[in-house]
A and B are shown apart, each in its own frame.
Chain A
Amino acid sequence: MLAAKYCIAERMETIQNKIEGPVTDELTLVRAAKQGDDSAFEELVRRYDRNVFRIAQHITQNREDAEDVVQEAFLKAYGNLQKFQEQSKFYTWLVRIAVNEALMKLRRKKPERTVSLDEDIKTEDDSLPREIADWSPNPEQQYTQAELREILSKTIQGLPPGFRTVFVLRDVEGLSTEETAAALELSVPAVKSRLLRARLQLRERLGRYFQKRESGDGNQ
């Protein structure tokens, strides 16, 4: 039991960056694209389109909007490539463009609310979990793939945009805390604070589906 407890942090370290391909090639492609080599830019699209799509759909929660964001983000990156000063990774710069495009989509859809990354700052007290019920050993196996995706999608939709954006960049896409801060133009402590609250809120909401059943019938 204790050994299992101590393994939590170690197992987390196996969760690594989702981006495929050697990072060193990225700069070569960017420089070639800056010189007018469109096939190099197309390779950058091929490398990052899935990541940008995932981020966009997580933020907008709408597939058509996510498709638009992918196109607009890459087109903006292409048009502004000469302004990219190579002080960060191209991918971090691209993510910043995509997040801004996605937030703009949300603002257009919800004009009654100002959607920004700063809207949901609350006191530290709200991060204390209220529900401490344990989960089943393999909760995801209680559901089909489609059911699980529906649960995860519905659950993350309930988070404020500022929280889910930080969670997606940091925990789903595997950006470092510093890269997430750079992409969102937030401080590192702000990213950490939102990440903690996003993780705890998602944990609490998922608990409604994944809680250990007292009756042992395995159903909700």
Chain B
Amino acid sequence: MKCSEFLHELTNYLDGVIDQNTKIELENHLSWCHNCYVVCDTTKKTIEIYRDSQLYELPEDLRSRLRSAIMTKCQQHKKRGPESV
């Protein structure tokens, strides 16, 4: 397996959606190709860091203000009829 072929399958490999034979080939490639190992490992870390980052969390006070505004607008929409959205 060439590095370009490994990269082509990287997303499927990280997502765990590859067949057993391809997985064995990929892991064999990883066992000797340091560059692909680094790319694979740091790509996985990239996903985990974003996933765990709590970037753009909605603060509770803003959350209740938004919910209240949404429900008020929904009530107004109901009174006005379906053409108002």
Q: Which residues of A contact B (CB under 8 A)?
A: 2, 5-6, 8-13, 15, 18, 38, 41-42, 45-46, 49-50, 53-54, 57-58, 66-67, 70-71, 74-76, 78-80, 82, 127-129, 132-135, 139-140, 148-149, 152-153, 156, 167, 171-172, 174, 177, 192, 195-196, 199-200, 202-203, 206-207, 210
Alpha-carbon distance A202/B55, docked complex (angstroms): 15
A-B pairs with beta carbons under 8 Å apart, 28 shown: A5-B31, A8-B13, A8-B30, A8-B40, A8-B41, A9-B14, A10-B16, A12-B15, A45-B67, A50-B63, A53-B56, A53-B66, A54-B55, A74-B74, A75-B85, A79-B77, A129-B39, A135-B42, A149-B53, A152-B50, A152-B53, A153-B55, A156-B50, A171-B47, A171-B51, A172-B50, A199-B14, A207-B42
A199 touches B53 (CB 8 A): no
Q: Determine which of B56, B57, B63 lies in contact with A58 in the assembled complex, contact meaning CB atoms within 8 Å.
A: B56
A157 to chain B, nearest CB (A): 11
Tell whether, in the assembled complex, residue A12 and residue B16 are in contact, meaning their CB atoms are under 8 Å apart: yes
Other-chain contact of B50, A9, A127, A171 (Cβ < 8 Å): A171
Residues of chain B from 9 to 60 with CB closer than 8 A to chain A in the complex: 10-17, 23, 27, 30-31, 35, 37-51, 53-58
Chain B residues near A53: list those with CB within 8 A. Answer: 56, 58, 66
Residues of B within 8 A of A199 (CB): 10-11, 14, 43, 46-47
Query: What residues of chain B lie closer than 8 Å to A134, measured between beta carbons?
Result: 38, 41-42
Quick one: closest A residue to B77, CB to CB?
A: A79
Number of interface residues of B (CB under 8 A): 51
Report if B62 contacts A (CB, 8 A).
yes
Contact among B43, B55, B69 with A149 in the assembled complex (CB-CB below 8 Å): B55
| Chain A, residue nearest B3 (CB) | A128
Q: Given A135-B45, A153-B55, A171-B51, is A9 in contact with B39 using a C-beta cutoff of 8 Å?
A: no
Inter-chain contacts of A133 with B (CB < 8 A): 38
* Given A12-B47, A71-B70, A152 contacting B55 (CB threshold 8 A): yes
Describe A's contact surface by its main secondary structure.
Answer: helix
Q: Does B71 contact A (CB under 8 A)?
A: yes
Write out the residue numbers on chain B whose beta carbons fall within 8 Å of the beta carbon of A12: 14-16, 44, 47
Report the separation of the CA atoms of residues A172 and B66 in the bound assembly, to the nearest whole angstrom: 22
Q: What separation, in Å, do the CA atoms of A24 and B84 have in the docked complex?
A: 31
B67-84 to A contact mask, C-beta < 8 Å, 1/0: 101110111011000101
B56 contact set on A, CB distance < 8 A: 53-54, 57-58, 66
Please, which residues of chain B bring their CB within 8 A of the CB of A153? 55
The answer to whether residues A71 and B69 also contact, given A50-B63, A134-B42 and a CB cut-off of 8 A, is yes
Say how far B24's CB is from chain A's closest CB, in angstroms: 10
